[in-house]
Structure 1
Amino acid sequence: MFALDDITVVSLESGVSAPLCTRMLGDFGAEVIKVERPDVGDVNRHWDSVVYGDSSAHAWVDRNKLSVELNLKSEDGTAIFHELAEEADVIVQNYSPGVVERLGVGYEDVAEINEDVIYLNVSGYGRDGPYSDRKAYDMVMQGETGLILMNGSPDAPAKIPLSVCDINAATYGTIATLLALFHRERTGEGQELDVTMFGGMLSWLGYFPHKYWHNDEQPERIGMRHHLLTPYGPHETADDQYVNFAILSEAHWELLCEAVLERPDLLEDERFADNESRVANRDTLEPLIEDLIAEQPRDYWAERLAEAGIPWGDVNQLDEVLDHPQTEHLDLVKELETEDGPVPYVDNPIDTDALEFAAEPMPDLGEHTDEVLDALGYSDDEIETLRANDVV
């Protein structure tokens, strides 16, 4: 069975954050109706064409959905959306600030015809406040929430290549929707929800705010090392490979010095007496460790780290990750069958024997318009009239 059987989601979505949120809801079995602008569709459809002419972003975030082309700037289009909303359990939207209200499809409009609805707004900064009118995209938000200036090497900042701010908002949006559905199951009440990229990323800043509040410490860019721990991270070996290890405790430090590096003298050095001391003296310690690791090949260190029980791993390219033994063991890469050919995808990582996850290919633009309108009671002639009038 699907966890969200009989749950209908209608989405006014664009880009990644809301589409990824609704894709996860679709993975869990909800019927997701993606409302798109006629002849244009979601912007994510046009970023590249590597998947049989479709974009990689569309393939990532739009599986398990129905696509309906609907002109919300027309009265008939708004009326059709209201019919969809009247039957919906959840509405998700991440349009630019103020758009859904101007189109007459915001929460207040929908709640008048469906008081039990759960209406999720996904935005950059929220629907009020000094930044509420700003548009927000992942790179903009990475800069706004401090990620860019804390990421990268000492001589150059860098953005994180993954759309982490979008993924954050999508994840919190999914959690919020599931919480609201559970709340409605208990109370019968619908509600409006807000998830912001800005707030979500602040919640992911971890220990850095505490280091600032209590130690007036700004995070410096330290490349592949760790702000809070050392030794930590990838180290280049004699055969131009990397071995990646993490010293998380004093027991690990002792094992590294004695069993791996064979440098027990480091344990007697007061500069390295505990983790905080090692971090304070990282400019001395880290080059020393790097030089030692560079003396032997990767396999030498891998064997020693494994025998010592220290957390370690490889530094893989993308193809090595997708072909990784554990990827295969966990059955994480599956295929969607499409008319154009198989489309590999990374499956939902939740492992459960009691629930199923949906696996339907991403829709062509407007592929399900007639099907959805037919379910609403529109005749073939009425649908053709709507199409002739550029409503669908």
Structure 2
Amino acid sequence: MYALNDIDVLALESGISAPFCTRILGDLGANVIKIERPGVGDVNRHWDTAVRGNSSAHVWVNRNKKSVELDLKSEDGNTICRELAEKADVVVQNFSPGVVESLGLDYESLREENEDLIYLNISGYGRDGPYENRKAYDMVMQGETGLIMMNGSPDAPAKIPLSICDINAAMYGTIGTLTALFQRERTGEGQELDVTMFGGMLSWLGYFPLKYWYNDEIPDRVGMRHHLLTPYGPHETNDGQYINFAVLSEPHFELFCEEVIDQPDLLEDERFATNEKRIQHRETFESIVEDEIATESRDHWAARLEAVGIPWGDVNQIDEVLDHPQTDYLEMVRELDTEAGSVKFIDNPLDMNKAELRREKMPDLGEDTKAVLQTIGYSQEQIESLEDIGVI
């Protein structure tokens, strides 16, 4: 069985944040109905044609959903959406600021016919406040929340290649939705939730705000090194590879100096006596470590690090990750049959012994429109009429 059997989700969504959230809910078994613009669909359908003619973004975030083409600006289309919302347990929306309100599809409007409704707003900055009318995309939010300026090498900032701000909002949105469903089981009450990309990323800034408030530190860009710990991170070896390791404690540091790089004299150097002092003298200390690691092969250092129990790993390209033995063991790469052929995807990482994960279809644009309308009482004649006038 699926954990979210009989939970109906209406998705008023585009891009990545809300679609990824509802995809997770679909993985858990929810019946997700995705509303898309007639003839166009979600913007993420058009970013490339990498997957047998489909967009890689669409394949990533839209599995386990039903696609319904619906013109929400038309009177008939708006009515249909309200009828679907009336039967929904959850509505998730991340439209541009003010759109659902202008369409009468906001929480206050929909709860008049569905008091138990759980309604999740995912936005960039929130639905009120000084930035309420600003649109937000991942790159914009990476800049706004400080990620770009603290990421990259000392001579140049860099964005994080993943849509990390979208993913953050999707994960918080999923947590909030599941929590609201659990609370509704106890109280019988629905509610409105707000998740902002800005607030979500602030919550992921970790120790950096504390370092600023109490040490007046603005984080420098440190490339492949760690802002708080050293030695830490990938180091190039003499065979053109990298060995990636993490020294997390003073006992580890002693083992590293004595047993791994054979430089016990570093333990006597007052500049390197603590992790905080090593960070203060980062340039000098890390140059010593980098020069030493560059004298031997990746396998040499891997064996030494493993022998003393210091965490280490490889620095892989994407093809090596997808062919990784742990990827295979966890069965993370699976396939779906589609009309265009078999499509690979990365599975949901949850492993629950009392519930299954859904691994079903990848919806073509509007393929479920007629079937969904029939479930809410529309006749074949009515459906054809709506199709003729472009509502669906």
TM-score norm. by structure 1 comes to 0.99
Equivalent residue runs for 1:219-258 within 5 Å = 219-258=219-258
Q: Alpha-carbon deviations, 1:49-69, whole Å to 9, x = none?
A: 011111000000000000000
Range with greater deviation from structure 2 (315-324 or 339-348): 339-348
- The residue aligned with 1:68 is 68
> CA shift at 1:126, angstroms?
0.3
CA RMSD of aligned residues (A): 0.5
CA distance in 1 between counterparts of 2:160 and 2:196 reads 19
Equivalent residue runs for 1:150-165 within 5 Å = 150-165=150-165
CA distance in 1 between counterparts of 2:351 and 2:330 reads 9
Amino acid at match of 1:346: I
- The residue aligned with 2:325 is 325
Q: Does residue 336 of the first structure (1) align with residue 336 of the second (2)? A: yes
CA distance in 1 between counterparts of 2:242 and 2:361 reads 38
**Percentage of matched positions with identical amino acids:** 71
Equivalent residue runs for 1:137-176 within 5 Å = 137-176=137-176
- The residue aligned with 1:14 is 14
CA distance in 1 between counterparts of 2:37 and 2:97 reads 17
Partner of 1:96: helix, strand, or coil?
coil
Query: How many pairs are equivalent?
Result: 392
- The residue aligned with 1:278 is 278
- The residue aligned with 1:77 is 77
Amino acid at match of 2:214: H
Q: Alpha-carbon deviations, 1:95-136, whole Å to 9, x = none?
A: 000000101111111001101000000000000000000000
Amino acid at match of 1:314: D
CA distance in 2 between counterparts of 1:343 and 1:390 reads 31
Amino acid at match of 2:241: Q
CA distance in 2 between counterparts of 1:166 and 1:23 reads 13
Q: Does residue 212 of the first structure (1) align with residue 207 of the second (2)? A: no
Range with greater deviation from structure 2 (113-122 or 347-356): 347-356
- The residue aligned with 1:190 is 190
- The residue aligned with 2:294 is 294
- The residue aligned with 1:136 is 136
> CA shift at 1:352, angstroms?
1.7
CA distance in 2 between counterparts of 1:126 and 1:362 reads 31
CA distance in 1 between counterparts of 2:351 and 2:267 reads 43
CA distance in 1 between counterparts of 2:122 and 2:369 reads 25
> CA shift at 1:340, angstroms?
1.4
Amino acid at match of 1:260: V
Amino acid at match of 2:269: D
CA distance in 1 between counterparts of 2:11 and 2:92 reads 5
CA distance in 2 between counterparts of 1:352 and 1:243 reads 34
CA distance in 2 between counterparts of 1:94 and 1:352 reads 29
Amino acid at match of 2:244: N
- The residue aligned with 1:113 is 113
> CA shift at 1:308, angstroms?
1.1
Partner of 2:225: helix, strand, or coil?
coil
CA distance in 2 between counterparts of 1:202 and 1:376 reads 42
- The residue aligned with 2:351 is 351
Q: Alpha-carbon deviations, 1:188-208, whole Å to 9, x = none?
A: 000010000000000000000
- Structure 1 spans left out of the alignment, 5+ residues: none
Q: Does residue 122 of the first structure (1) align with residue 116 of the second (2)? A: no
Partner of 2:39: helix, strand, or coil?
coil
CA distance in 2 between counterparts of 1:326 and 1:72 reads 45
Amino acid at match of 1:297: S
CA distance in 1 between counterparts of 2:328 and 2:4 reads 27
> CA shift at 1:22, angstroms?
0.1
Equivalent residue runs for 1:84-95 within 5 Å = 84-95=84-95
CA distance in 2 between counterparts of 1:172 and 1:62 reads 18
Q: Alpha-carbon deviations, 1:243-297, whole Å to 9, x = none?
A: 0000100011011001100111111111110100111111110010000000001
Amino acid at match of 2:311: P
Ranges of 4+ aligned residues in structure 1 off by more than 2 Å: none
- The residue aligned with 1:99 is 99
Q: Alpha-carbon deviations, 1:207-255, whole Å to 9, x = none?
A: 0000000001000000000000000000000001000000100011011
Q: Does residue 361 of the first structure (1) align with residue 361 of the second (2)? A: yes
CA distance in 2 between counterparts of 1:249 and 1:351 reads 32
- The residue aligned with 1:311 is 311
CA distance in 2 between counterparts of 1:383 and 1:360 reads 26
- The residue aligned with 1:5 is 5
Range with greater deviation from structure 2 (114-123 or 346-355): 346-355
TM-score norm. by structure 2 comes to 0.99
Amino acid at match of 2:57: A
> CA shift at 1:361, angstroms?
2.2
Amino acid at match of 2:50: V
Amino acid at match of 1:155: D
